[in-house]
Amino acid sequence: MACGLPVVSTDCPSGPREILGGGKYGPLVPMGDADALASAMSKMLDHPTSRVLLEEACRPYCAAYSAARYLEIMLRDPARAIGS
């Protein structure tokens, strides 16, 4: 996804729904449903999600953005930022 390539994921409880925007950036299929996975992969190959859209979706997960966001949150409470 970060490379602008189409993504298909199982809808497991570990985060794909959040990362894929509830299916906006790639299909989510039920866990254990091989037929649904194959169908979603085939559809994605025929009609891939836009590379630009995928790159935009990944921006919040890049190291620079994540570090800046972490510091922003931590510095709201200076006592927490210095380990008090």
Please check whether residue 3 lies inside any domain of the structure. no
CB 8 within 8 A of CB 40: yes
What SS3 string covers 32-79? Answer: CCHHHHHHHHHHHHHCCCCHHHHHHHHHHHCHHHHHHHHHHHHCCCHH
Please check whether residue 45 lies inside any domain of the structure. yes
Count structural domains, the chain. 1
User: pTM of the predicted model, to two decimals?
Assistant: 0.70
Per-residue tens of pLDDT for the chain, all 84 residues: 888 899 999 999 989 999 999 999 999 999 999 999 999 999 999 999 999 999 889 888 888 888 888 888 888 765 655 555
The pLDDT assigned to 80 comes to 59
Print the domain residue range for 73. 9-81
CA distance 19 to 5: 14
Phi, psi torsion values for 27, nearest 5 degrees: -65, 145
CA distance 72 to 63: 14
Please check whether residue 34 lies inside any domain of the structure. yes
